[in-house]
Amino acid sequence: MFLLFILFLFNSLPFDMATGNVAKPGCQTQCGNLTVAYPFGIGEGSGCSRDASFDLICNSTDYDPPKLFMDISGNIQVDNISDSEMWVTSYVAFRCYNQLGDVAPNEDYSAWFNLEGTPFSFSQRNKFTVIGCDDFAMITGSNGGDFTSGCLGLCTRPDDVPDGYCSGIGCCQTAIPRGLKTYNATLRSIRNHTRVFSFNRCGYAFLGEEDSLQFHGLQDLSNSSKFYTNDPIVPTVLEWVIQSNQSCIEANECKGNSSCSDTDIGGYRCSCNKGYEGNPYLDPGCHDINECDDKINIRCYGQCINTEGSYSCTCGPGYTGDAKMLDGCKPLANGSKFPVTIFTLALVFGMVAILLGMIAIFFGIRKRKLLKLREKFFEQNGGVFIKQKLKAPGTGGAMTMFSTEQLRKATNNYSEERIIGRGGYGVVHKGILPDASVVAIKKSKLVDAAQTEQFINEVMILTQVIQRNVVKLLGCCLEEEVPLLVYEFISNNTLFHHIHHRAGGMGWLSWNNRLRVALEVADFGASRLVPLDHDQVTTLVQGTLGYLDPEYFYTSQLTDKSDVYSFGVVLAELVTGQKPLCAKRTEEEKNLATYFVKAVKENRLFEIVEPRVLREGTLDQLQGIGDLIKRCLNLHGNDRPTMKDVAIELEGLKKFKNIHPWGQQQTHEESRSLILEVEQGDVTLIPYNTNELESSSGSSNIIFQENKPR
């Protein structure tokens, strides 16, 4: 009978979810023959489920053994749960007629099911089925939109009805859309069964699992006894998901050794990876299955070894073949074990040789690519052109072309411990060459392919310069993306250091020595080298705030007058002993250039001048250099003097000093070098004479009583 078949099918379904799935700790896991795993939980409001929509009720009062029910209406029985589906019982719509064609009393029932607001929807494994020879049924529902479908069952003679399958004669089936959340089934008859009453007086309609129906033809059509029950009896498959507006990646809820899959009905599901079992929704996640212990599903007639997520099955020593087949392992022939050993060893050595060969090929290709890349950078940075220029007559001093390996070795792979300066342009490392000579290696931060020609010109200029005020360029490395320049190493620290950080109050830095330092730098600035095919040189922007020409922020260009501004800041440092930027001064006076110009305009120059400068300089000298610095720091480049003008004025100030009887003659015994620095690392090098600096002294006959040491 049809009804008996449904009940039999229900009892044949699997009982629980995937082996090893568990419930939340401390929660009930069994209800009768069913195991309930998280995210489901037994007991309304028990906290054992993920949320209330996954609560299930175990009725042990009315049933023995207990039965499990959904908490939607309280009477929908749950027969089984898997990791993506739930089997429940649902209602049958039926309508029966008497011989006159009237609907029989209490034998007319519509079926409906509502899953809105739950994580469930009707699976497409269900089919809407109509049974009857004079019946049609409509199913309406919602899957995010309205859905309507129907099915018609017709037959005229009992002999026309096939037995064993639903063909459309006496039985009709139709599919439902994915994600269906609600349905309502109504049943109608064409002629009220008056022509088929002798063998079929009732029609039935339901939504149930397709595989649960085996239509028994006339036997099912003629048997209406107890079939029109008001209890849910049809096995129906529901899909369940974790409802979320987030995707798998965003939610990140699946635990260890599991995977997440987004569904096309909203939400996502977690599942254990192949070879693992457990609950993917609870920590620590899924654990490895020991396949070797599974004698039912895993067949291994040799040596079974469990591995993480899998297993291996091999024949034992002295046997060969397929250990996963019965009698698949065959004993080796006498005398064949030794060749097998040799073969195994040969195979191992062969694989090792192949591996070593692949490694050698890999490093060979890598080395070749590296060489090509270095050649590319060498050409890109103008290496060929520089070589040609160096070979040309009249190019001045020699220059060494260093390789990448040489400089890496010299700087201990550019170790942090070898850094001797940082600035707006990049970093300067101390390097030690194989001949034990010490060099300074300048490594820039930026590279601009459009400025390659300028870089070449600057290298050629520095190569030709042999001047005691300029650090000597020893060579360069063009095999890197950013060219590296190698200079002679100046060990006696920087002018910035001697002005601002020297212990003992800068004893050697007298007014006369300050003037001499300023004049020597100005002399070099006034005689800048310019390539023969250019009218001027535009310097790369590699400066430091406090020294940078304000006009650059509007024009994005640096000119010769920009050098004048930067030199003016250095002069202000020499005169005041203060740093270009100082947070201790007021916001308006934080910048030394602004601070100095304001003081000159307000006739407060002598308030900010270094006390020693004030003691040793004459009034005319101090006023003269103050006015010169003010003009150098003019915000408009066109209104600034040239470096040549600056050098002439400084020479005049120095000579003016020398006519006074208190001026002292200076001796020249030993020369050292001093770095004029705008920021540690942004360097122009000038030498100074130790005896000149340390033995020079002098005092001004103009002493202001109101000036006190700071």
- Asked whether the bond before 235 is cis by omega within 30 degrees of 0, the reply is no
Q: Residue 529, Cβ neighbours under 10 Å: how many?
A: 14
Residue with tokens 């039912």: 296
Torsion region of 226: left, alpha or beta (phi above 0 gives left; psi -120 to 50 gives alpha): left
- Write the CB contacts of 512 (distance below 8 Å, at least 6 apart in sequence): 616, 654, 657, 663, 664, 666, 696, 697, 698
How does strand 319-321 pair with strand 329-331?
A: antiparallel
272 within 8 A of 261, measured Cβ to Cβ = no
5 CA to centre of own chain: 58
Q: How far apart are CA 240 and CA 577, in angstroms?
A: 78
* Strand bridging mode 134-142 / 182-189: antiparallel
**Strand partners for 236:** 88
Give the integer Cα–Cα distance in Å for 116 and 119: 8
Beta strands in 40-84 (DSSP E): 41-42, 55-59, 67-70, 77-81
**Maximum CA pair distance of the chain?**
147
The whole-angstrom separation of Cα 218 and Cα 234 is 20
Instruction: Give the dihedral of Cα atoms 249, 252, 255, 258; nearest 10 deg.
Output: -10
Q: For residues 386, 389, 391 and 395, what is the CA-based torsion angle, rounded to 10 degrees?
A: -120
Record the tokens describing residue 96, joined without a space: 């029966």
369 is in an annotated binding site: no
Cα 554 from Cα 564, distance rounded (Å): 17
| Cβ atoms of 323 and 303 closer than 8 Å | yes
Residue 231, exposed/middle/buried by CB under 10 A (0-12, 13-18, 19+)? exposed
Q: Say if residues 157 and 195 touch (Cβ distance below 8 Å).
A: no
CA 393-399-401 angle, to 5 degrees, is 120
Contact 288, 311 (CB under 8 A): no
Q: Count Cβ atoms within 10 A of the Cβ of residue 466 and give its class: 0-12 exposed, 13-18 middle, 19 or more buried.
A: exposed
- Give SS3 for 227: coil
* Binding residue positions for ATP: 443
* Binding residue positions: 443
